[in-house]
Amino acid sequence: MKFHPGRTIRALLLPLAAGLALTALPAQSAQAASTLVNGGFESDGTGTATPAGWSEYGDTGASYTESGGHGGSHRLSHYASSAYKVETYQYLSGLANGNYTLTAWVRSSGGQKAAYMALKNCGGTEQRTDLPISSSGWIRIVTPIKVTNNQCTISVNSDANAGNWINVDDLTFTSGTTGTSIHGADISSLAKSEAKGGVYRTSSGTAGDALSILRSYGMNYARLKVWVNPADGFNDKAHVLATAKRVKAQGMKLLVDFHYSDSWADPGQQTKPAAWAGHTYSQLKTDVYHHTYDVLNALKAQGTTADMVQVGNEINGGMLWSEGSTDNWSRLAGLINSGYDAVKAVNSSTVVALHLAKGGDKTGTRWWFDSAVANGVKFDAIGLSYYGYWHGPLSDFQTTLDDAASRYGKPVFLAETAYPFRLDSDDALTNQIDTTGELVPGYPATAAGQTKWMNDVTSIVEAVPGGRGLGVFYWEATWTAVTGNGWDPTDAGSGNGWENQALFGYDDKALSSMTWFSHR
């Protein structure tokens, strides 16, 4: 993540009575089968009120087929010019017990009280996946279930306001399961915040340890950046070691993010540490190795071995400019591989990730990793930054993520994302995102909007084929507005333009958006 002044859910399960999920389904049709039928809504053509194989409940006039499918010629749509509640469902019986996954391609206008796919009456807890908001590009979502009673109901639900719509198409119900293993956050700001008087509270207002509060909501992975010799003395080796002890004491895993700089490294700046400034390329390779090894070996020695490491941060244009620029791939490859080798020398099972800020740019991501592979760069996983207000629509994020996973055969994760819960500032510095025009359409700057954004991007990571979607890191959970903890490590008076995208509010209380950590 770059920071400078100026401008550059699955939600909590609704109670059964609140949505359209029925405590008792209407009587099932005699032809109920063990295989999903008409999942592409092609059987009847346009304008069919009740698609073949499906049933409806509620305001049934709001559910119908129409032309314009994802795969074939037609799709299911929910829409009405007045407020409506409708469920389109299909009951399956005679199923072999076991794990199943519902896959669906969806679009949504947003604005509904609820719009989701559900699997219910399958013998266990109902599973839901909210429809991400996308008015143009189709998005694939998945919902897993464990069938224990030889039956299951597949359900498409809308509780909508006037004029809201959804499109659903190409449903499949197949054996297998899904989920995400990383529900993480970057907390690099925490040590300095606390040193400058920052306080963190539970949702009810009790002061507490920020990591303990985050863990209570389901956070299971912490990301910490490392600067070589930062001007303020924070985000250095000593502070990473101290915070790592707290992370591991909470039972969380640890990602160490090497910037190979004394300050922010990102697509616009990859400045060498001052101590390495006059070094030759050969010396820089040694510098990268020794710095990486030194930090990670110290972590290992205190019993807090890193589980994942980023060799570089948002290295779209390379790192350690100019020697490590993408203008000279063979040299960049040597520097990255020096870092990779150091990670493995400390602990061979630590995952080495490469991180780009190209979450919505399939072409750019391909160019970078094709070049990396051609130059023998070693890596285990791919991390992408994706901020919806900067990096294009959710459908582009999915396309980029899916392509990276399949093209390089590696697990992928969302290394950085965030969303504002309000627009005004809690300090004197203008926020990076501070106008409604900058927001992603359909996602308001509220705690609910922040929650939905996080659940929806996590659903997209969960849907990466082959189980290659690892999960998500939030950036930056604990960076609240605390005097002295601004963006510039050389200026104690610099402010924070990101406090409206923390996971703690201006009253220091845990926001309800922390519930995204409990996404599958």
- Closest listed residue to residue 458, CA positions, set 136, 181, 216: 181
What distance in Å separates the CA atoms of residue 405 and residue 466, rounded to the nearest whole number? 9
Which residues are CB-contacts of 502 (< 8 A; sequence separation ≥ 6)? 476, 477, 478, 479, 480, 511
> For residue 58, what is the enclosing H or E element?
strand 55-58
At residue 377, φ and ψ (nearest 5 deg) are -70, 135
- Closest listed residue to residue 25, CA positions, set 87, 114, 101: 87
Which residues are CB-contacts of 70 (< 8 A; sequence separation ≥ 6)? 105, 138, 167, 169, 170
Q: Which of 416, 462, 476, 499 is catalytic?
A: 416
129 forms beta bridges with 117
476 labelled catalytic: no
Q: Are 49 and 60 in contact (CB under 8 A)?
A: yes
314 labelled catalytic: yes
What distance in Å separates the CA atoms of residue 381 and residue 340, rounded to the nearest whole number? 12
What distance in Å separates the CA atoms of residue 297 and residue 347, rounded to the nearest whole number? 8
Q: Which of 42, 56, 126, 314 is catalytic?
A: 314
E strands of 270-392, at which residues? Answer: 308-311, 351-356, 381-385
Q: SS3 helix, strand, coil % of the chain, rounded to 5?
A: 25, 25, 50
What distance in Å separates the CA atoms of residue 418 and residue 472, rounded to the nearest whole number? 10
Indicate which residues carry an active-site annotation: 314, 416
